[in-house]
Amino acid sequence: MSRRASLPPEGLPGLDASWSRIVSVPGRADDAGRTREWHLLDTGAELERRGHTPRGTILAVHGNPTWSYLWRSLAAATLDAADAGAVPWRVIAVDQLDMGFSDRTGRSRTLAQRVADLTGLTDALDIAGPVVTLGHDWGGVVSLGWAVDHPEQTAAVAVLNTAVHHPADRPIPAPLRLAGLRGVLETSTVATSGFLDTVLGLAEPSLDPEVRRAFRSPYLTADRRGGIGAFVADIPADPDHPSFPELERIADGVAALRVPALMLWGPKDPIFSDRYLDDLVDRLPHADVHRFEGAGHLIAEERPYAAAMLNWLEDRRPDTSSATPDPQFALTDDAAAAAPFVPLWAGLDARAGDPDAAIIDMSARGGRDAVRVSWALLDTQVRRIAAGLHRIGVRAGDRVSLLVQPGPTLTAVTYACLRIGAVVVVADAGLGIRGLTRAVRGAWPDVIIGERTGLAASRVLGWPGIRISAERLARPVAAALGVSHCLADIAAHGMADLGSGADTPPEPTADDPAAILFTSGSTGPAKGVRYTHGQLSALRDVLAQHLDVCADSGLVTGFAPFALLGPALSTRSATPDMNVSAPRTLTARAVAAAVRECDAAIVFLSPAAILNVVATASALTAADREALAGVRTVLSTGAPIGAALLTSIAELMPHATPHTPYGMTECLLVSDITLDGVHEAAAVADDGVCVGKPIGENRVLISALDDDGRATGEPDDAPGRLGEIIISAPHLKQGYDRLWLTDREAVRGTAFEASPGDDSTASRWHRTGDVGHFDERGRLWVEGRVPHVIVTATGPVAPVGPEQAIESVAAVRRAAVVGVGPRGVQQLVAVVETVSQTRRPGLASPELTDEVRAATAMPIAAVYAVPQLPTDIRHNSKIDRSRLAAWAEGSLAGRTTGTP
């Protein structure tokens, strides 16, 4: 086969032959002065034919062992977007020398030479306008090298899984180590197609056979695969490698880039893992990042990266009139003056030295006495741990994953981290090992502070971060768990530093990152939600004002997210005897004991906890009931609950006002309604759960659903219109962690969509994914989730209204309504739990079916009775309607058996 460049064969799927061209590049001294021929894909001629003048060029560089075919969908997408009126971008996707259909040079090319090769090509093409570089795998390094060398032309940079640095104390990824072994390298990469086939086999889902053949087409014989082996051999695995200095130069240069940056990542990549993403984020902290959960190395084949890239270019608008970067993305050394704010730990500072109890821990005490921690001790321990963490190198912005059960230790560590500007990462153990692993790896913490169980999981599952034990461990155990520090020793060292007058780090400002809180995972993989210090303080303030919290209030917190707020509110708090990760372990007697111990006026509980508290109320003693009579406010947080359950809890706390706030991890308090308000709403014939009116400065609007069930309406507060609920609040999240596309979707289409780079509170809005409506009195009613809307031939139907009607049937305990069939002509199916528990899932009896159909005005195609409706893993109260819909559709088609 010819060693000169050639055109790809005709008929490769997705590749327009008119894009292919051969370009001759004059010889250079470092390449023996030989002219080289490159194959590349170039959409410039097609843009001209369609009457579009490109505003800039996307320079796309593939990695090993792919070729420019990798970028075919981007080429097609840019042309379609230009036809639709978007900014026209010319795509130039190269085949690197010795790769694809470009020249086979017969020489081993170093990283520095490959960067120089690319410069030679762009000089030959006379690319004068602004350039957006895009690279994958080792093409990412080469493209970034070009950007570093051409700051005057570079308008933006984008990468798919790649790396510009490897830690000196870590081996390179195992697949590359294996491929690079002497005696293996030539066989696996050149003599056979083993390396090529292995990489192509990483795609999930598997590549279409025709697409796989297209990727293999330039590498059919050993003499065509020399570049694959040379690329592997050129991996700078250690400082002695000839390409190591160039990699270091590029890494340093990337950190100096001041242009928009995008990173699209497949976290399941066995080669370029999240470790390399974390390094890139450290170098380009202003970058937009999106991790496609479940995607791997060949992310361009696995996920819609082209659409993401074009959306990003539209949103970020890199300057296409010149090569000067858009100033809104420029990083400056002058920090904007932060508005004064009261930090979260100010409530703790206000009571420093107070001997009264700040925290009372009764959780999982097994009958033993409660642990009481005074304000003085808590303040002292927070300061010691803060100083100790700073001493071992924890700095502002470092991420600290907390795998500690709620209680005094978790509280002290949390406030210590916040004081020094470290970002606390909190994921509920209720996510399970797989969910926790996904969450912790996704956040990529610098430090893990945990108890033995969490540390063992982090060791076995390879979670990142320095490990600190919350308890003192024997040396062999600490070594086995990879623990390098003990929290007690850190506090002791911190005490010594405080005593010696050692410098303490400056306190963070309102705009500094403070926390990443993970969602429940009930609507897909758990997402990390980013909060700043100002937003956490705003949450404290809205709670204090709305609930009239003062120093003497006292809190009982049977709901983990609120267990840390007592010190911030400057009031004592108690955690009842329960497993906080399993809300249904909380009993009525445990609540009464915590109220008595804390003299609490306010009680926070989750809906699942309330269910068991009510169910165990018969065990209450006279003393327990007397204690509960002193409560003045009880809140059910986590999901709205109905009048019956609120009434039941009110009977246990007769002098308390029951509240059921509406909120989510992204904004923990949005609106609120009391039991009296629930009763008032119940007198109105309306669909959904009434969650009251917005609290404080919060704003809520509705984006009406169209006939296809999509929220496309202009957001407003008009009554009676079913649509997606959109919110804004001072304590609304900053964004999702490393989920740029998800962030974009959360504000897409609203009239209040923020301009790129605008993080001001006034412009931050969030699409909740919930559907509902306002009534004539301005009260908000929630009717389900957007993905659960059933799109029938007569229009969209939200599930909660029909479910409530069905639950009025005496034989029904709980109901779910789901849609089956094609969207637009879906049929409603009811799935019910019965009061007398059903033993096996199946179609309901004719009598029950008739009752269910009579209860709702909506046409019900089928009624199923099941032993238990599936719920999400954290709240035990939110019905998993997506799972039910798949089960019901399969059951009706005869494909599904068993319990949903």
Cα distances (Å, whole numbers) of residue 494 to 221, 429, 451, 466, 503 = 64, 29, 20, 18, 11
Rounded Cα distance, 530 and 428, in Å: 15
The CATH number for 789-900, chosen from 3.30.56.10, 3.40.50.1100, 3.30.300.30, 3.40.50.970, is 3.30.300.30
DSSP single-letter state for residue 80: H
Decide if pLDDT at 174 tops 90.
no
Q: pLDDT tens-digit profile of 707-744? A: 999 999 999 999 999 999 999 999 999 999 999 999 98
Rounded Cα distance, 132 and 143, in Å: 10
pTM: 0.89
Please say whether the beta carbons of 400 and 425 come within 8 A: yes
Check residue 332 and give its pLDDT: 31
Please say whether the beta carbons of 487 and 386 come within 8 A: no
Rounded Cα distance, 127 and 88, in Å: 15
Among 471, 417, 461, residue whose Cα is nearest residue 436: 461
Assigned token pair, 568: 């911030």
Please say whether the beta carbons of 634 and 649 come within 8 A: yes
- As a whole number, mean pLDDT of residues 863-890 equals 79
Q: How many CA atoms lie within 13 A of 261 on its CB side?
A: 27
Rounded Cα distance, 897 and 900, in Å: 8
DSSP 463-505: --SEEEESS---HHHHHHHTEEEEHHHHHHHHHHHHHHT---P
Q: pLDDT tens-digit profile of 452-497? A: 988 998 888 888 899 999 999 999 999 999 999 999 999 999 999 8
Decide if pLDDT at 544 tops 50.
yes
DSSP single-letter state for residue 430: G
Among 732, 734, 731, residue whose Cα is nearest residue 759: 734
Q: Would you place residue 59 in the very low, low, confident or very high pLDDT band (cuts 50, 70, 90)?
A: very high
Q: How many CB atoms lie within 10 A of CB 500?
A: 8
- As a whole number, mean pLDDT of residues 616-626 equals 96
Rounded Cα distance, 226 and 230, in Å: 6
The residue ranges of every structural domain in the chain are 17-321, 340-362+369-532, 789-900
Q: How many CB atoms lie within 10 A of CB 503?
A: 8
- Burial of 650-665, coded b for 16+ CB within 10 Å and e otherwise, reads bebbeebebbbbbbbb
17-321 topology per CATH: Rossmann fold (3.40.50)
Rounded Cα distance, 220 and 101, in Å: 11
Rounded Cα distance, 789 and 826, in Å: 10
Check residue 620 and give its pLDDT: 96
Q: Strand, helix or coil at 62? A: coil
Check residue 30 and give its pLDDT: 74
Assigned token pair, 434: 């797989």
Q: How many CB atoms lie within 10 A of CB 735?
A: 23
Beta bridge partners of 816: 831
Please say whether the beta carbons of 670 and 662 come within 8 A: yes
Rounded Cα distance, 798 and 781, in Å: 11
Q: pLDDT tens-digit profile of 19-52? A: 999 999 998 877 778 899 999 999 999 999 999 9
DSSP H or E run through 448: strand 447-450
The arrangement of strands across the sheet holding 766-774 comes to 662-664, 667-672, 689-694, 780-785, 766-774, 723-728, 699-704
Q: Strand, helix or coil at 543? A: helix
Please say whether the beta carbons of 163 and 142 come within 8 A: no
Check residue 329 and give its pLDDT: 31
Check residue 129 and give its pLDDT: 78
- Backbone conformation region of residue 122, classed left if phi is above 0, alpha if psi is from -120 to 50, else beta: alpha
Check residue 368 and give its pLDDT: 67
Q: How many CB atoms lie within 10 A of CB 205?
A: 7
Tell me the range of 335-339, 403-407, 567-571, 684-688 where mean pLDDT is highest. Answer: 567-571
Q: Strand, helix or coil at 414? A: helix
For residue 435, which phi and psi values (nearest 5 degrees)?
Answer: -65, -40
**How much of the chain exceeds pLDDT 70, in percent?**
92
Decide if pLDDT at 514 tops 70.
yes
Rounded Cα distance, 138 and 99, in Å: 12
Decide if pLDDT at 53 tops 90.
yes
Q: pLDDT tens-digit profile of 800-819? A: 999 999 999 999 998 999 99
DSSP H or E run through 611: helix 607-615
Bond prior to 525 in cis (omega within 30° of 0): no
Rounded Cα distance, 492 and 297, in Å: 45
Q: Strand, helix or coil at 381? A: helix
DSSP H or E run through 604: strand 602-605
Assigned token pair, 572: 């004592």
Rounded Cα distance, 248 and 23, in Å: 30
Say if residue 810 is exposed, middle or buried (CB neighbours under 10 Å; 0-12, 13-18, 19+): exposed
Check residue 323 and give its pLDDT: 41
Rounded Cα distance, 172 and 167, in Å: 9
Assigned token pair, 426: 């909190």
Assigned token pair, 788: 């659960």
Residues 6 or more apart from 40 whose CB is under 8 A from it? 20, 21, 23, 68, 92, 93, 94, 95, 121
Pairing of the two strands 357-361 and 812-820: unpaired
- As a whole number, mean pLDDT of residues 790-798 equals 95
Among 710, 796, 807, 726, residue whose Cα is nearest residue 764: 726
The answer to whether domain 17-321 and domain 340-362+369-532 are alike in fold is yes
Check residue 878 and give its pLDDT: 74
User: What's domain 340-362+369-532's architecture?
Assistant: 3-Layer(aba) Sandwich (3.40)
Q: Which amino acid is at 364?
A: A
- Which residue shows structure tokens 């606390």? 424
Distance of alpha carbon 558 from the chain centroid: 26
DSSP H or E run through 776: none
Rounded Cα distance, 338 and 322, in Å: 33
Rounded Cα distance, 26 and 36, in Å: 7
Assigned token pair, 843: 């179609």
Please say whether the beta carbons of 277 and 284 come within 8 A: no
Check residue 453 and give its pLDDT: 87
Among 816, 835, 430, residue whose Cα is nearest residue 638: 430
More confident residue, 562 or 826: 826
∠ CA 155-81-39 to the nearest 5 degrees? 65
Q: pLDDT tens-digit profile of 420-441? A: 999 999 887 667 778 788 888 8
Residues 6 or more apart from 326 whose CB is under 8 A from it? 259, 260, 316, 317, 318, 319
Among 379, 337, 649, 318, residue whose Cα is nearest residue 511: 337
Q: Which amino acid is at 886?
A: A
Among 465, 510, 202, residue whose Cα is nearest residue 340: 510
Please say whether the beta carbons of 61 and 74 come within 8 A: no
Q: How many CA atoms lie within 13 A of 280 on its CB side?
A: 27
Beta-strand runs (E) in 73-198? 89-94, 131-135, 154-160
Decide if pLDDT at 243 tops 70.
yes
Distance of alpha carbon 32 from the chain centroid: 50
Rounded Cα distance, 528 and 518, in Å: 4
Q: How many CB atoms lie within 10 A of CB 126?
A: 6
DSSP 153-170: TEEEEEEES--S---TTS
Check residue 758 and give its pLDDT: 44
